[in-house]
Amino acid sequence: MRVCIIYDTKRGSTEKVAHWITEAIRDIAEVRVSRVTESPNVDDCDLVVIGAPIYYERPLPSVIEFIRSRNGFDGKRVAVFILCIADKFGKLGKKYTEARYMRLIIEPIRGEIIAKRVFDGWILRENIDQRHLAQDWIKRVLRAFQEGEVIDGIEHP
């Protein structure tokens, strides 16, 4: 099974999460991690894990453009994650990240989405709490993938 983790970043936190995820499953799957700027091929990926940070109320446009350029990962199974700070602002913040940020990244995806995850982003100090959350998440995603299941709903920190 080949898992392709694809992301973009401006300040490095989404890259960090992508690498934490990679580290967690390196021994149990063939994993390839790439930034969208490397224009990775997804044809031979069984599971695509796509990640974006939120800037100015939307996922980084380069990630959306990448999804569109790969025909929305049509025919693939896909797991999605975003990093943002709005999620920290209580119930309302969580609702907002679901209704706006998650919706915007999901919109161009044509493959089967098996998991959707919000992580707390950061600006200056690395949020190390996200490490075990990300690693636990990707292991559950892999299990769901192997069992042909879908993780319902949008998961938050």
Q: Please identify, using beta-carbon distances, which residue of 44 and 56 lies nearer to ligand FMN.
A: 56
Three-state DSSP class for residue 21:
helix
**Residue 9 sits in the site that holds ligand FMN (CB under 6 A):** yes
Nearer to ligand FMN, 46 or 65 (CB): 65
Residues in CB range of 120: below 8 A, 6 or more apart: 83, 84, 85, 87, 88, 127, 129, 130, 157
| Residue in 29, 83, 105, 114 binding ligand FMN, rule: CB under 6 A | 83
Which residue from 31, 36, 45, 53 is in contact with ligand FMN, where contact means CB under 6 A? 53
- Written as one letter, the residue type at 134 is A
Tell me, by CB under 6 A, how many residues bind ligand FMN. 18
Q: Which of 111, 82, 106, 64 is nearest to 18 (CA)?
A: 82
Binding piece for ligand FMN, criterion CB under 6 A, among 11-19, 24-32, 68-76, 134-142: 11-19
